[in-house]
Structures are given as structure tokens and as C-alpha cells.
Structure 1
Amino acid sequence: MPTPSPASPDHADEGHRRATETGHGAGQHTARPPAPDTTPESTRPERGFLGHPRGLLPLSGLEIWERFSFLGMQAILVLYFADTVRAGGLGMASGTAASVVAAYGTLVYLVSVAGGWLADRILGSYRAVLFGGVLIACGHYSMAVPTATMTWVGLGLIIVGTGLLKPNVSAMVGKLYATDDERRDAGFALYYMGINIGAFLGPVVSGWLGQTQGWHWGFSAAAIGMTLGLVQYVLGRRHLAGRKHAAEFALPPAALRRAIWLILAGVVVLFAAAALLVAAGWLTMARTVDLTSLVSVVAPVAYFLVMFRSPRVSREERGRLRPYIVLFAASVVFNLVLFQAYSTMTLLAADHANTEILGWNFPSTWYNSVLGVAEVLVAPVVAALWQRLGRRQPHASVKVGLGVVLGGLSFLVMAWATTGRAGDGWTMAAWWLIASYVLLGTGDVVLQTTGMSATTKLAPAAFSSQTMALWMLSLALANGIQAQSVKLYAQLSAPAYFGVNGAVTVVAGLAVVAAVPWMRRTMAPVH
């Protein structure tokens, strides 16, 4: 193990300890606390985990269990909403259930903006992720209680917890590498492989329990998974950057106190206003969905304006934000398709997919696991390819455009598979759904790993976690638009619905590829 750099927290803590023990600096007003560790691990030649920094392992492990819990629960959430009250569900119409699930996803990613800000200015990334994980676990335990009230309480806790965890754990991965480290994209691909191990296992376990034993058994499995993720995250904390200090760009004490009071007051006012509107009969489920969609549009626009106008952002950093808008828009279009894997495609599979192999029946939610399997298998191949190509690998915008095209093709496959079908009794062969999920999963690996890596490279220094939160806002906007568009699922024929979605997505991906020359110039020196 090489000697820690002078800026590392271990080195600084040791120097401070020696000074204190020898009487130099002890009780002196000139003594200063250890300097925060802002040196990327890659400046120290550490290759402890598959040729990557050791910190990649606990972060990937946390994401395995977070995605296990989140996507395991989401695999059955729309079915739970749409199931009859007699059977233990909430009795929603299928279109309403899909819309509410999309609104829930919108709120998850909207809150990530606050999560990124809290990490940058108050908590620090390590503690933000830890507190977020605790809230997520509490949310899943709440949903395990078989009452409608605890379902909404649990979803609220998961929304807040995921908003704290998601942008900051991804930002922590970026901090393991220097900006020009060629291992960065490959590292994000390995990290994303961990995410999708959880994406595979969650629907298998929670889906089976939910559809065969009861919905709240599936929610219980999600709770246990998140608890395991927290345990291994804490055990691996010594390899993580930022664990020994608070926010890298912390607010001054007076501003910090004001911010805390404003946050508390804002939460109280928000809950009080919501309670009054519900009591008055104005804040219905439909209006909540519409309001969420509106906020999902306003939030990213406002946040881009804040970053472009901030005095903390240099002229060079501002220039790199312009091509980032294109990557952001590409993510929105792709995720309009991706998130429907857990709404319209889940409903389609439950109603029309073949769920029998050699006389053995399996839950339709297991089709959701195909997406995770595809991504687990594709991610190491993509990581190895990018690492082998090194500086000869395609530009980030080419990768993103390709990912969007693959997402569109996945829905065109579904349009073809459902053409000529009529009535309620028809059944779709398994291979159609598998082919669609494989295309979608491959596109997701290529786009998301590249997008997250580009985000950490293009982010202004003063907005490192918040820029990853901005990437999460692309997911919020996709969910916000989807909350409205999925209402058409029950009104249009399946070929028309999937065909239009797929065609628009393919065209958007080709547009990104066409913009590559401009993207290459404006993103320099980022590749």
C-alpha cells in the first residue's frame, strides 16, 4: 500500500495527533482541523478491486441491495395498486396505477436535488448516503405493514431516503478516480453491473413473494435487503473518500443555522398545506400526479439556470454545461421507455405473457428480472471493451446516442409482438419480452454508465454532488412525462402505443449521434 498523500485524511489525522501528544498545537488557537481529503484515490496507484480502487466494492455492494429493495418493491407496486381491495390491493384502475407509480418515481428523483445539496453543503457524501439508506430501510419496513396508511408513509420515507442516497453514492464513485483516469468509464460499468445484480434479484424474490404469498411479504423482503446493504456499506467505510469530514463546500456556521431553520420551516409548511388541501378535497390523487409532472419540468430548468449563473462556476465549467444539456435530454427520452418496464410492460406481462415453462408456472414479475440479467451480462463486456480501447473508445455522446436508439428498438419489438392481437385472451411468447428487455438493458448500460461518468467529469467543482442530482432530475422529468403519457396505455392499441414511443426514441438517439462533432468540440477535454 503506497504512502498516503499529504492531503489525505489519514495523514492529516496522524500529524494532528502527534502535534497534540507532544504539546505543539494542543490548546492553541492557531491549531487547525485536518484538511478534507479532496485527492482522488487514482492519484495513489491503488488497484485493489479488479484493477480499480477498493472503495468501488462497498459502493457497488450498497447499490446491489438498494436496487434489490427498490426494484423488487417496484416490480409489484403497480400490481399491488391495481389489485382489488378484497385481494389485498388498493383497487386502482390500471392506467391510474401506472400513473401513480410514475409520479412516485418522479418524486424520488426530484428529492435527489435536495439530497445533492445537503451532501455538498451540510452532511458530506458519506453521511448523506448513510442517512438515506436508513430512511429507505424504514420505508420498506413500513410498507410491510398491511395497511394503506403505512403504504403511503413507507413510500414517503423511501422517496426522501432515495433522494439522499442515489446522487451521492454515484458521486462517491466518481471521487475514486481522477478526471483523466482511463479506468473511470470501466469503473462505472462495473458499478452499474452491481446495480443490476440487485435489479435481477429484487423482482425474483419480492415478485415471487408478492404474487404468491401476499404483497406485503414482497415489501418485507425489500426491507431486509436494504438492511444488508447498510451493514456492508458501514463495514467498508475506510476505503471511501470523504468519510472523515463533513461537506467539501460547507456553509459558514451562520448560514448553516439559517439553512437548517428554513428547511425545517419549509417541511412544516409543506405538510400543513398538503393536509389542508386534502381536507378541502382539492388535492386528489389525479391532481397530485399532475402537480408532480409540472414540478418535474420546472425543477431541471431552474437548476440549470442556477448553475449557469452561479459565481462559483468558472467560464470553462459553464462552457461544458452546454453539451451536458444534450446528454440530459437524451437521458429523459431513454428513461421514458426504461421506466415503463415497471408500469405498462409489467401490466402487459401480467395480462398477456406466457408464464409457463415445461408445465411449471412462474410469476409474471420475473420478466422484470430479465432486464437485470441482461445488464449484469452486458456490463462487464462493456467495461472490458472501454478499458481495452482506452483513448480509442467512442466519444461519450456516441455511446449515449447508441443507448437511446437501443431503447427505442426495444419498444418497436413490443409493437411488432402485439400487432394483430385482439381481445383479452391472447398470450405472448416469452421470447418477445426477453428480446425487448435485452435491448433495453443493453441500452441502459451503455447510456447510464456513460452519462454518470460524463456527469462527474463535466460537473463544476462547487456542484459535484448537485450535478449528479441534476442527472437524477432527467429521470424525474422522464417519470413526470410518463405519468401523463401512460394514461394513453388503456386508450390506444398496444401496437400504436409501443410503436409511437419506440419511433420517437430512435429518432432522438439518431439526433444525438448527428450532433457528435459539436459535442466533441464543446466537451473537450472530456472524451
Structure 2
Amino acid sequence: MSQNSTDQFFKNNVLGHPAGLFVLFFTEMWERFSYYGMRALLVLFLTSSFAKGGWEWSVEDALALYGTYTMSVYFTPVVGGFLADKYLGYRWAVVLGALAMTLGHASMAVETPMFLYIGIGCLIIGNGLFKPNMTSIISNAYANHPEKKDGAYSLYYMGVNAGAFLGIMLCGYIGEKISWSWGFGLAGIFMLLGMLQFYFTQNIFGEIGLKPTAESKKLAQEKAAQESTPANVIRDRIIAVVIFSIFTVFFWAAFEQAGGSMTIFAEKFTQRELFGNAASTFKIVDAVLTIIPLIIITYVLIKLFKQTFKKYAIGNIILSLSFIIIWGIVLWKVGREFSATGTEVPATWFGILNSLFIVCFAPVFSKWWESKYNLSGPMKFGLGLTLLGLGFGFLAYGSIDIVSGEEVVRVSMFWLIAAYLFHTLGELCISPVGLSYVSKLVPATWIGIMFGVYYLFIGMGNKLAGSMGGMIEEITEKYSLSTFFLIFTIVPITAGVIMVVLSPVMKKLMHGVR
């Protein structure tokens, strides 16, 4: 990749960053819309009664499948990163991955066991091609601007969570209130639109992410030789990446309870039926929470149009169509809710809180990481794990009165809201920062595969999340639901303290990388 290519990428700015970053922002937004929209529905669909259109699986079996799926979507990026590095190039890997995921969502909409497994298989393969290579494009684009990487990844992560917010909100609502098939199908529609938008706008990246040629491989080898980084520095930095990766296992094993045990807690133990003034207040709050973030994202879209519409009209028209559809669905949803006398808050609704808080706080954290008060990577990880544990502390306290075998006690929504707030603050200290540090610590020629390795550790955390979440009924019966959530309070906080203690060692291993 040439110096001129990255200079061209930085030519047209939107909100202080290259316009191309926001092409990736919206592509990733629609992919996350599809992923989190489906994730919000999967466990509820599998465990719901036949009368509600579900399959009446046990919680343990449903969470086992959930854990296997979420693990696998992080394992396959190892292969996807390798294929992109050596053969496909990052751009074609993204396009092919998005197409496979579109087929996966379409299959799940059929609602038969065979098509469920076919759909999940396509999603796993597609995600493996898509996920590591989106972040690899950013890494290559910012190769000559390392000081802006943390901020770029935080803004990119805002796009991730904008998609998750909309996906959980709309797919979850339609799946629970209208039809599971329509909820799963909606995820596929926006995955397709996201792929088309990226395909028709990809030239904005110049030479970044193109299929590798013999000449480009030779240039990369020569560049690596010229950099001549001593082997023992490379070794130490790889060790640092591995340590960061190990601690992400603890983080995601707890954090991913959001799609499993926390959703079950919302459905079975949280007071969600509202009437009178409470219902009216919720409808107003829900409408505001839906519309204001969408206005903000639409504002970003308009800023991107001003920079790119003339040159990339087709891609921008497709992106416009996506937003027209989204606005139509949102206004239909709001109108439908206001016409009802009361309301039952969907169990999936609480999942939007994480994404909403990300959209609100990501710019703040991005500025923090670029300021003189920036923390070191290990300190960010320690803080993130501690905040995550404190979030589960709210759930442990809120569920004290819930006793297995007795009449179901439904508790205030406050406890879930507080938990999601602290989980989000913890996530902002770990997830985008982890991606940034992988890109800065490993040699350029290893970027794709090392992102894959990092995601492999996240996959381990996701599988562990499913396995541990599946024990919710067993632990609740033997001890209490509060004990179950207390485990997820103590373990992350302990891991966070250990990471803070290791901070001096980590700084030495990182050899000046900040």
C-alpha cells in the first residue's frame, strides 16, 4: 500500500475523520443490525411456547446453541483474515462475507430446523470473512496516522452499536409482536443493502484492501525488511496481544450474558407490563430513544453525502434507501404503540440500552483517549472489567428477593438499566481499545491473521458465556438467582485488579506503543 493511497483516503473529511471511515461506519452498522437483530430473537424464539410460535426448547439447550453460534462467529475470522491477507484482499472478503450472511438470515426466516442450521452456518462463514477485514481496512488506512487510531476505532464502534441499537429495537419488536419470521427476515434485508452500499462505494479506499498481487506481496515484504524490527520486540508485543486476548475471555464470558441469561431475566423476572401514566411515559421515552439517535445518525449520513454523493452516487442512493425504510418502520412502530391503551415492554427492548449508551458515550471516550488524560492499555482493560463486574452487582442486589420454587417475583426495570449502563462503560474501555492495540502491536504483514486470533479468544468467551448462562436454572434452584449474578460480579472485578497489577509488565512488553 502506497503513501499516496493513504493520503488520498484522508483527503475528504467528515467530522474530523476521512469520509471513507464513515463508509465503513455504515457498512458495519447494517451488518451489526442484522447480527444483533437476530441475536436478540434467537434464544427467545427457541424457548417460547408453541402457542407463541416458538419451539419450546429448554433454556440450557437454547443457550448451548447460542454459545456455539457466538463462539463460531469469532473463530472463523482466523480463516477469513488469512484468506484476505493472502488471496482475496480485504474488500472482496467483506463483500463475499456480507452476501453469505444475507443468505443466512433469509434461511432462518423459513423457521424449520434444517434451515435454522443452514442459516446459522452461513452466518458463521460470512462473519468470518467480514469481521476481521473491516477492521483491517481501518488499520491499513490509518497506518501513517497511529495517533488517530484510538479515536477512529471508537467512532467505528459507534457505528457498530448504532446498528445493534436499531437491529435489536426493530427486529426484536417485530419478532416478538408480529412474527419471528419477519424479525429474522428484516435482518437479512439490511445486510444485503449494507453489502451493496459498500460494493458501489469501495473505490473511496484507493488501493487499500485490494486483492494482493505478486508485486504488492513483494512490496510488503520489502517494507517489513526495511522496518527491521528486532525479533525480540516483535516477540514481546505478541505476548502483550496474547495477554490482552486472555483477559477479553473473562470480559466476554460475562458481557455476553446480555443475549442469554439477562434476556431471560428480563422476560421472566422483570416488571414489563405498564398501564396508565406509566405506559404513556414509557411510550414517550421509547419514541425519543428511537428517534433522536436516528436523527443523529442521519445527520452523519448527510455530512457523508456532501463529500461523496457526486462521485459515488449509486452507493449513496442505496444508503439513502436503507434510511428511508428504517424511518418508515420506526414511525410505524411509534404510531402503533401510541394507539394501544397499555404496553408490554418487549424483553428484547433492554438490549438496546447497551447500544444507546455506546452512541451517547463513544464520542466522550474517543476524546478522552486522544487527550493528555489518556490511560494506558492495561489500565483501560482493568477499568473496563471492574465496571462490568459492578454492572452485575446491580442485578445480584436487585434479584435478592427472587427465590426458586416460589411465586415469580417481578422486579423493577431499574436494575437492568443500571447493569447495561455499567456494562457499556466497561465495553468502551475494552472492545474498541483492544482492536486498536492489536493493530498497533503486530507487524503490518500479520494484521489480518492476528485480528483473527484476537477474535478467536473473544469466541472462547462467547462459548463460555453460553455454557455458564445455561446454568442459570441449576444455580438458582440450588442457591439463588442473586448468587448466579454475584459470580459475574466477582470474577470480572478480580480479573480487572489483576490486569492493573500487571500494568508495569505490560508496558515493558509493549515497548513504547501507546
Give the Cα separation in 2 of the matches to 1:62 and 1:178. Answer: 21
In the TM superposition, what are the counterparts of 1:102-501 in structure 2 within 5 Å?
102-178=67-143, 181-240=146-205, 242=207, 245-247=210-212, 314-355=231-272, 356=274, 357-358=278-279, 359-389=342-372, 392-422=373-403, 423-492=406-475, 493-501=480-488
What secondary structure, in the 3-state scheme, does the structure 2 residue paired with 1:354 have? coil
Q: Per-residue CA shift, 1:429-467, capped at 9, x if unaligned?
A: 111101100111111122111100001111222211111
Pair 1:83–1:241, CA change in 2 (3 A): farther
Shift of 1:106: 0.8
Structure 1 length normalisation: TM-score? Answer: 0.78
The AA in structure 1 aligned to 2:258 is A
Shift of 1:90: 2.5
- Alignment gaps of 5+ in structure 2: 218-227, 280-341
The AA in structure 2 aligned to 1:321 is I
Question: Which residue does the alignment assign to 2:222?
Answer: none
- Identity of paired residues, percent? 30
What secondary structure, in the 3-state scheme, does the structure 2 residue paired with 1:182 have? helix
Shift of 1:424: 4.4
Q: Tell which structure's C-alpha radius of gyration is larger.
A: 1
Shift of 1:85: 3.8
Shift of 1:38: 7.0
What secondary structure, in the 3-state scheme, does the structure 2 residue paired with 1:491 have? helix
- Alignment gaps of 5+ in structure 1: 1-35, 253-310
Give the Cα separation in 2 of the matches to 1:183 and 1:432. Answer: 36
In the TM superposition, what are the counterparts of 1:78-117 in structure 2 within 5 Å?
78-117=43-82
Give the Cα separation in 2 of the matches to 1:348 and 1:138. Answer: 32
Question: Which residue does the alignment assign to 1:288?
Answer: none
Q: Per-residue CA shift, 1:210-240, capped at 9, x if unaligned?
A: 1111211100110111112112212321222
Aligned-CA RMSD value: 2.2
CA contact (8 A) 1:188 1:452 kept: yes
Shift of 1:181: 2.6
Give the Cα separation in 2 of the matches to 1:440 and 1:248. Answer: 43
Pair 1:45–1:337, CA change in 2 (3 A): same
Shift of 1:57: 0.7
Name which of 76, 82, 87 aligns with 2:41.
76
Shift of 1:393: 1.4
Shift of 1:45: 5.5
Q: How many residues align?
A: 432
Shift of 1:420: 2.1
In the TM superposition, what are the counterparts of 1:21-100 in structure 2 within 5 Å?
36-37=1-2, 41=6, 46=11, 48-100=13-65
More helix by share: 2
Shift of 1:91: 2.2
Shift of 1:314: 3.8
Shift of 1:508: 0.1
Give the Cα separation in 1 of the matches to 2:58 and 2:207. Answer: 46
Give the Cα separation in 1 of the matches to 2:209 and 2:474. Answer: 54
Give the Cα separation in 2 of the matches to 1:323 and 1:366. Answer: 38
Structure 2 length normalisation: TM-score? Answer: 0.80
